[in-house]
Structure 1
Amino acid sequence: MKYFSFLFLILALYSCKKEILVTEPSAHITKTEQESFKYSVIRYVDDLAYKATEATKFDTIYNKEYTARAQKADLLHYYKDKDGTVYFAIAKIAPSLKLKKVATIGKLKYGADGKIAEYEEAIRTWKMEEPELRKKTAMLFEKYVHGDDVSPYYTANAKGEFYIEFPDANTYYDKTARSWAVKK
């Protein structure tokens, strides 16, 4: 009887173990595919191009500027689940006196035409120096993919540490508009 109880306990603990994620982009997609992926999301994760509006940001006149921005962005994490959902973490340079970056963590799905059909940003970090950003983004990314609660890392809950700038009490991600919005 003790043997079966012990075996049941081991099986129960093993089944609760979370999948170890391989999120290094090069483990999933080639360098060329990484550049293409960054370009496909840069119009969402970065600021509008000079003179562009939300309505015109996909106009071809801005391709050169968005290509340059995509090349400067870092694809930190990439993971595709069994359902075809692509999870990503991408960093860009943030305005600061010394080099700091901000990361965006989100997910998307492609349609049958190969274009982005669903897109959502779940987390926008505070700007940080790169070593700190990489460490905190890795932890937040893994929690996000596993569906864990990241609210302890919101600014209001993080006890003086800076992890997640958005969402917060006033800001949320509008999936329809595919941009961050302020609550009314």
Structure 2
Amino acid sequence: MTISIYSLFIISVALSLDAFGVSLSIGLSKNLRYKNKALFCISFGFFQFMLAYIGSYLGALFNRYILTIPNVIGGIVIFVVGILMLKDGMKNDNSNVNINKKMYFILGISVSIDAAVIGFTILNNIGNKLLLLESTLFIGIITSILCLIAFLISGYLKKITIVSKYANYIGGIILMVFGLKMMFV
């Protein structure tokens, strides 16, 4: 079975929306450097690719177990990061969320769990391994590009005084909403 480029693009964009929202939220942080942005783009794209690829191999075996549990776990992680951003905003001492290496890994996996589900349900029928690799790489690249766009947008949003003043609150609330969406929708 093959998948059309149009269908693959739509799937890629849909999978990227959580990573886009998280990137937009994190991008509002004042202490975020270009290196951090690049690492988040790479992390989100890599885990979208990797989980979709792995998911396609595991296929129907875990299909009935994976559809809800990882989304709840991923949603909880993103929700907690949102709470931490709100907490940092309440400190009122111009501090921001600390970006560390674990955050790239944890958030990368959290926003990519749905890619594993797509691998289980849609991509597991692609018999050609090269086509599967190309399809999952495409998903990862689209995710990285959309995250880059989100960081560019957040750079412009930070220039708006009220957004800059309440960036941690805005980012925290957005992350909490994404977390709830992952858990319950």
Q: Structure 2 length normalisation: TM-score?
A: 0.25
Q: Structure 1 length normalisation: TM-score?
A: 0.25
Structure number with higher strand proportion: 1
Structure number with higher helix proportion: 2
Higher normalized contact order (CA 8 Å, seq sep 6+, divided by chain length) = 2
